Amino acid sequence: MMNPADIMKIMSAKNKFDANHPKFSAFLKAVFSRPIEEGTIIEITVTRPGEEPITTNLKVQQSDLDLVQELQHLGR
């Protein structure tokens, strides 16, 4: 079990992140408002200051969904 002080630190950091990045939090809520399904394409772009963007994507496969489900069970 986590220490209550650690939980408060995590919640404070989460609240600060949400305040600093409200569009990202809203994006995640919209994306995860329903389950990700096989065939979904997830694309990520990282743009560092003064550098060209780097982009990659993946097409979700059933084995990916199985892995996420197993990880969720471990976290319980």
Question: Would you call 36 helix, strand, or coil by DSSP?
Answer: coil
| Cβ–Cβ < 8 Å for 55, 42 | no
pLDDT at 24 (0 to 100): 94
pLDDT at 40 (0 to 100): 97
The full set of domain ranges for the chain reads: 1-34, 37-76
pLDDT at 36 (0 to 100): 94
Which stretches of the chain drop beneath a pLDDT of 50? none
Question: Would you call 5 helix, strand, or coil by DSSP?
Answer: helix
Note the pLDDT tens digit of each residue in 64-76.
Answer: 999 999 998 887 7
pLDDT at 28 (0 to 100): 92
Q: Where are the beta strands (DSSP E) in 1-72?
A: 41-46, 54-59
pLDDT at 74 (0 to 100): 86
pLDDT at 31 (0 to 100): 93
Q: Would residue 16 be called left, alpha or beta, if left means φ above 0 and alpha means ψ between -120 and 50 degrees?
A: alpha
Rounded CA separation 5/45 (Å) = 35
